[in-house]
Amino acid sequence: MRILIQQKETGLYFQDVGAWTRNSSEAMDFLSSTAAIDFCVLNKITGVQLVLKFDEQQYDIVLPVLTTKGRKDDEPRKPR
């Protein structure tokens, strides 16, 4: 399984800083979903989703990337 970042609107996959590709095989593969989300937060990448890419496309899983705006990293999250 590969863990990729994909732009929601264009369907392009993250390849490198400033570079996106249509070909998922050329996309950067993250070690974990947490690493991919952290990368998006640190680099202020928005409008994306995670794609868990399997050998057989029918098993691919698309997950939203949710970030909380305006919250400082050292502030505790409030219970809902």
Per residue in 9-68, pLDDT (tens digit) is 999 999 999 999 999 999 999 999 999 999 999 999 999 999 999 999 999 999 999 866
pLDDT at residue 77 is higher than 80 = no
Q: Give the C-alpha separation, 27 to 68, whole Å.
A: 26
- Domain around 45: 2-64
Closest CA to 5 of 31, 29, 41, 26: 29
Amino acid 66: pLDDT: 81
Residue 72 belongs to a domain: no
Amino acid 74: pLDDT: 47
Residue 71 belongs to a domain: no
Residue 37 belongs to a domain: yes
Residue 22 belongs to a domain: yes
Count of structural domains, the chain: 1
Residue 74 belongs to a domain: no
| Count of beta carbons in the 10 Å neighbourhood of residue 78 | 6
Residue 25 belongs to a domain: yes
Residue 73 belongs to a domain: no
Residue 36 belongs to a domain: yes
